[in-house]
Structure 1
Amino acid sequence: MTPTSIPANSSHENQNNTVCRYDGNDWLFTVIPVYILIISVLGIILNVFVLMVFWLHKKACTVAEIYLSNLAAADLILVSLLPFWAVYLLERYNWPFGEPPCKLVPFSISMNAYCSIYTLVLVSIDRYLALVHPLTHERMRTPFCAKLACAVVWGVCFLLNVPVLIYREVVHRPEKNVSRCALSYSDQTDKAINILNVILNFIIPILIISFCTLKIIQALTNRLRDSYSTEGKEQKATTLILAVLLAFLICWVPFHVFKILDLLSRNNIVGGCEFRLSWFQQIAIFLPFFNSVLNPILYVCVGKNFRKKVKEVFSQMSNRRKSTFSLASTRTNLSRSVKTEDATS
């Protein structure tokens, strides 16, 4: 389930089990839209920068870089659509964009949130194979397999979010003079889909990532203890990946914890209000968006190979400018020489 699921006022908002309401003057409608717009601008700039570095560099991307470029692409699409939700909150849950955007925007945000998470699963598996089973699974760690795995992830994430595309619709409420972008299925179906999303979008990925990360740390510890050094590139890539995984956990775990508590409260397993209106929950809902900005910052701050690529790309661009300027100067000199010869003759 993505952060759009709670603020978007789905079909269960009028049920008796959601007696807790947001205050009309709540900071949700003032501070959060500004935060979302800042995240959107920074996310677009930083992720475009990352993709341009990978695209312009003369060398082909490694397996890890293929995954990171797909992660940047998913983050870029996600943050590009966030301004729609900022406007939605500024309008106090009044959707002004019509039916097609009501379907496409939540679908695209949800799909790319899924893609970000499962790309991180691929990244953790790749690091696991590289460090724990470097010889036995070498054939699986090829650029072709990495691209194929990314294509499968995008396809599966598309299919998993088809219900968002189908059931989102604009619901007009004349008595409140608002139009909500809401999910049109029943409350029971909503609960079932939320449970499924928690399993697919949190429990399964977190189990895989946790297992791989523990094995990676164990492998690195054993190699240091045995005075055995891993290959430089692999070790640098692993450091970056571990930082990206840690950022993912910090940004996404609080949201899913509150999501699980919300599901438990709807089923009367735990108390309701305290899990719905707290500031901590509001922060947890919108914190995952920051992950799309944090990832490219980590590439620069932690990724030595990425910083090297950035320098090489700028060096390539500088050399191209110099060669272009030199060629232009040569043509100008030749043109002047020809004109001088014509004048003297």
Structure 2
Amino acid sequence: TLPFWAVDTVLDFRWPFGRVMCKIVSSVTTMNMYASVFFLTAMSVTRYHSLITSLKMGSPRVATARAKWASSAIWVVSLVATLPHAFYSTTVQVSADDELCLVRFSDSDSDHWDPQVLLGLYQTQKVLLGFVVPLIIISVCYLLLLRFILSRRVVGSTVGSGTEKSEHEKGRHRSRSKVTRSVTIVVLSFFICWLPNQALTLWGVLIKFDLVPFSKAFYNAQAYAFPLTVCLAHANSCLNPVLYCLIRREYRAGLKELLLRVSHAIHNVFSLALRGRRVEEAPPSSAITHKDINM
């Protein structure tokens, strides 16, 4: 969906693709946002759980089944959280040729509720489920993880100071450290990219609930800073593959092998094309002479 939002941002948030595409693109974007943050939260919880239960031998088949069920549950919850966006996202005509793609609660949709209050409630759900609650869970997991690591170091230094660790244990410790570091970088990149956008959204929610007065600062932030926060939030989707390739050795090796294959394929194509060109450009006399010699 990034190309659609790129066009929308370049056109000063004017939507040229129609109402149906507005619903589809905005719903898919919102669902991907929820799924991304839910998967990052699950990764943090799994990281902590796998570390504290590292001494217990579990069945790989059971772990795979749990991962599949957890992934399916995350997608179902993301779909349910996206339903209000799918129902109420629409286009609004602002001039003869310009339309905006946004979430709008009309008076006919709510009998006893102010549409602005409903919009504020929806944006509150988005901030809480898409940012605040995952941030709290991830922070708690990493604090518990840090406490566990520090306690194990203290126990290891007092009890096993005279014994050397086996190479297998050292390798497992290095592998866990690399995975923990990669998960931390991915999680931090997500929250850094989404924090400005979620902060401005929360500011708007407070204004809709009359908890904070509308000010010129908010108008300037929405007019000038909000497009930048949207670009930064969407840039996270492009940043994750780069981070995975730069952090993990397996991804770097796979990327290197892929680039080598592509370069070899391109080299073979150019070689065949150049060979065919030389044959076409060869003078007829040389072909006849070669034929006479063979005869």
Alignment TM-score, normalising by the size of structure 1: 0.61
| Residues 137 and 272 of structure 1: CA distance in aligned 2, closer, same or farther (over 3 Å) | farther
Q: 1:275-313, CA deviations, whole angstroms, 9 ceiling, x for partnerless residues?
A: 342355543343221222222222222223433444566
- CA distance in 1 between partners of 2:130 and 2:57 (Å): 27
Residue 242 of structure 2, aligned match among 297, 300, 318: 297
- Amino-acid identity (%): 28
- CA distance in 2 between partners of 1:285 and 1:310 (Å): 29
| Residues 219 and 203 of structure 1: CA distance in aligned 2, closer, same or farther (over 3 Å) | same
**Structure 1 residue 145, shift from structure 2 partner:** 1.4
User: 1:181 and 2:101 equivalent?
Assistant: yes
CA contact 1:236–1:304 (8 Å) conserved in 2: no
Matches within 5 A, 1:41-52: none
CA contact 2:127–2:202 (8 Å) conserved in 1: yes
- CA distance in 1 between partners of 2:152 and 2:250 (Å): 22
User: 1:105 and 2:48 equivalent?
Assistant: no
- CA distance in 2 between partners of 1:203 and 1:302 (Å): 26
Which blocks of at least 5 consecutive residues in structure 1 are unaligned? 1-80, 322-345
Tell me the residue number matched to 1:190. Answer: 119
Tell me the residue number matched to 1:143. Answer: 64
Residue 79 of structure 2, aligned match among 158, 177, 181: 158
Residue 116 of structure 1, aligned match among 36, 46, 57: 36
Tell me the residue number matched to 1:202. Answer: 131
Cα RMSD (Å): 2.9
Give the residue type in structure 2 aligned to 1:212: C
| Residues 152 and 262 of structure 1: CA distance in aligned 2, closer, same or farther (over 3 Å) | same
| Residues 173 and 289 of structure 1: CA distance in aligned 2, closer, same or farther (over 3 Å) | closer
2:16 is paired with a residue whose SS is: coil
CA contact 2:193–2:232 (8 Å) conserved in 1: yes
CA contact 1:115–1:154 (8 Å) conserved in 2: yes
- CA distance in 2 between partners of 1:280 and 1:235 (Å): 37
For the pair shown, the structure with the greater C-alpha radius of gyration is: 2
User: 1:266 and 2:266 equivalent?
Assistant: no
Which is helix-richer, 1 or 2? 2
CA contact 1:129–1:137 (8 Å) conserved in 2: no
Q: 1:201-256, CA deviations, whole angstroms, 9 ceiling, x for partnerless residues?
A: 11211111111122223333344453675433322211111111121221122322
**Structure 1 residue 111, shift from structure 2 partner:** 0.5
Tell me the residue number matched to 1:234. Answer: 176
**Structure 1 residue 139, shift from structure 2 partner:** 5.8
Tell me the residue number matched to 1:246. Answer: 188
Alignment TM-score, normalising by the size of structure 2: 0.70
